[in-house]
Structure formats: C-alpha cells, structure tokens
Amino acid sequence: MATPSDRIFDSKMGEAEALAARHSTSMIHNVMNRGEWGILLALALIWGAAFFFIKVAVTHVDPLTYVWLRLTIAAAALWLLLRYRGDRLNLPREVWGAILVLALLNNMIPFVLFGWGQRHIASGLASILNATTPIWGVIVAHLATRDERITPAKVLGVVIGFAGVATMIGPGLLSNGGGLVPQLACLAAAFCYAVAGVWARRFKRLGVTPIKVAAGQLLAGAAVMSPIALIVDQPWLRPFPPIEAWGAIAALALVCTAFAYILYFKLIESAGATNALLVTLLVPPTAILLGGLLLGERLTGAQFMGLGFIALGLAVIDGRLFAAFRKKTFA
C-alpha cells in the first residue's frame, strides 16, 4: 500500500515528466536531419526562381502595387486552404501584434526594397546581397536567443558560403551592377529577413501552427499595403500590366510566398532561425542550375568553384560530415 510520501513522490515525478516532455518538443535541432535538409533545398528551388519573377513583375508594375498584389493573392490562397481543411485562422487577439511585426519584417519592407532595388540592379546581384541573410542571422540569433549561440563553425561556414556566392556571380555583376543605394536597399532587406527569422520562433511557444503564422502575416501585410499602394502608386492611372507580369505575380504569390512560407516556418519551428536562413546561400546557385537545365545556359569554372565553396560552407555549419571524418580518423 502506497504511503503519503510515495504518493507525493509519484506526483512530483509526473510533473517532472510533463515538464520534460514539453521542453523536448520545443528544442531546436541545431544539426538538421534529412527531412529538414529536404525542406531547405525545396525552398532554394522556389526562391531561386523568385528573383526572375520579381524582375518581370517590377518591369511592368510599380513596387508598392506589386507587393500589395503579391500579398493579397497569397493571403487569399492560404485562407482558402484553411477553409478547405475545415479550419479557421482564429488567432488570439494578443498574437496579432507579433504577427504585424513579422509581416513588416518578413514581407512588406523586404519585398518593397527588393522590388525597388531590382529596377536598378541585376536580379543576380540582388540574390547575392540576399545571401548575406545568414551572416546577419547568426549575429541576431546569438544576441536574441539562448539555444542558437554563435560558434566558430557557424561563422566560418557562413563566410565560406558567402564567398562561394560571390565567386560564382559576383565579379561580373559588381563591376557593372548599378548604384550604391539599390545595393544598400537589398542589404537592408536581407537584414530584415534575418530579424524576422528569429522573431518567428516565438509562435511555436504561442501554439500557432506554421500555416496560420504564414496566413496571418500575409493577411496583415496585405491589409497594411492596400491603402499605401493605392494612395502612393495610384495603379488605375498606370497602363494595364501584360500577361507575363500577371503570371509572374501569380507565381510569386502562390508558390514563392504562400506555399514557401508554410515550409519556411515549419523549418524554423524544428531547425531554428540560423539553419533556416541558410536557404539564402542556395538561392543564387539554384537559379544558375535551373538556367542550365531549362535554358541551356552553361556554367563557368568560377560558378562550379562557387558551388564547391557553398557546399563546403553548408557542411561546416551542419557539422556532421566533419564529425564523421574525425570519428573515422581517430577511431
């Protein structure tokens, strides 16, 4: 027969197990598994094509209007998806402030800055500047989190990866890539993405699923951008955009925004902001590889060298390859 002390002990053990379970489900995988690497590569393919679509869109549509249309179409798509699944957005009132901040950092500000910047510089150069996001991300995550502290391997890996991006397509573009201000605008957008990646971690603690985070931020962004675009751009006074512009905006909204952000927030939820931001290192080489496969473009020696640097950088950050090598060497 259990004594009172036994019952107290069992009760405390149950409380400890419950706390441990909650703690274990919220831990970040600093070393990504195969599924998380699969999501990262899928995002690289999607966002590698996004810079091409942005260039087409802003050639015919003002940047504020393009962002408004992109966010509105993407928000509508995710709202319909939720309804199809028998779900509703139904976010708690206290979450909407954090959602609005996320929309500003992850959608409105960087979309406008990249849209405006790509009117003045090459899309490839914009993707290089976007690849600085992990560098900002390592610093921001170190300052703002407890479980994504900076390490020598992370610093070295990101620097190697960015050197690879610059090796691939940097020299030719930097020699005739446009003015300083558009490049600074793209760098500011990359910094916004890094801060947004860390900010988005809080939604797991708040119990908000990745699809609802994505839908909420897009809805908030579309609501804020609507009056801004209508007042500033006055799109009804502009020529009606051609079909290729509408196609680019639709692809950006449905694939590169609505679908991609579900994957992105899922990756942040499990692998953390620092790992998720590595996608920006894979975007430029992905765009070049797609060009080679679909358009018959040839890769140069410098581009192959850049791909090697990026692969090395990712391996340094992930750590598993070098851990296996050390284990084999010193076994």
Query: How many other C-beta atoms are found inside a 10 Å radius of the C-beta of residue 127?
Result: 28
Of the candidates 49, 191, 52, 54, the one whose C-alpha atom is nearest the C-alpha of residue 109 is 191
Q: Is residue 1 assigned to a domain?
A: no
More confident residue, 33 or 169: 33
User: Considering only 93-97, 255-259, 280-284, 293-297, which range has the smallest mean pLDDT?
Assistant: 293-297
- The average pLDDT across 241-257 equals 92
Query: How many other C-beta atoms are found inside a 10 Å radius of the C-beta of residue 142?
Result: 17
Cβ(134)–Cβ(85) below 8 Å:
no
Q: Is residue 244 assigned to a domain?
A: yes
Helix (H, G, I), strand (E, B) or coil at 91: coil
Quote the pLDDT of residue 67.
94
Over the range 214-229, which residues count as b (16 or more CB within 10 Å of their CB) and which as e? bbbbbbbbbebbeeeb
Distance (Å, whole) CA 36 – CA 158: 18
Kindly report the three-state secondary structure assignment for every residue of 268-310.
Answer: HHHHHHHHHCCHHHHHHHHHHHHHHHHHCCCCCHHHHHHHHHH
Apex 48 CA angle, 106 and 253, nearest 5: 50
Quote the pLDDT of residue 9.
42
Per-residue pLDDT of 183-215, as tens digits, reads 788 889 989 998 998 888 888 788 888 888 889
Cβ(141)–Cβ(274) below 8 Å:
yes
Distance (Å, whole) CA 189 – CA 280: 12
CA atoms within 13 A on the CB side of 8: 3
Per-residue pLDDT of 113-129, as tens digits, reads 999 988 887 777 777 77
Q: Is residue 25 assigned to a domain?
A: no
User: Considering only 97-106, 112-121, 321-330, which range has the smallest mean pLDDT?
Assistant: 321-330
Alpha-helical runs (H) found in the chain: 4-25, 34-60, 63-84, 96-103, 109-117, 123-130, 133-144, 152-176, 180-199, 202-205, 210-232, 243-253, 260-276, 279-295, 301-318, 320-330
Q: Is residue 11 assigned to a domain?
A: no
Q: Is residue 147 assigned to a domain?
A: yes
Distance (Å, whole) CA 319 – CA 259: 29
Residue 242 amino acid letter? P
Q: Is residue 289 assigned to a domain?
A: yes
Residue 299 has pLDDT above 70, yes or no: no
Q: Is residue 118 assigned to a domain?
A: yes
Number of compact structural domains in the chain: 1
Q: Is residue 19 assigned to a domain?
A: no
Domain carrying residue 248: 33-330
Quote the pLDDT of residue 255.
92
Apex 14 CA angle, 11 and 18, nearest 5: 145
Quote the pLDDT of residue 23.
41
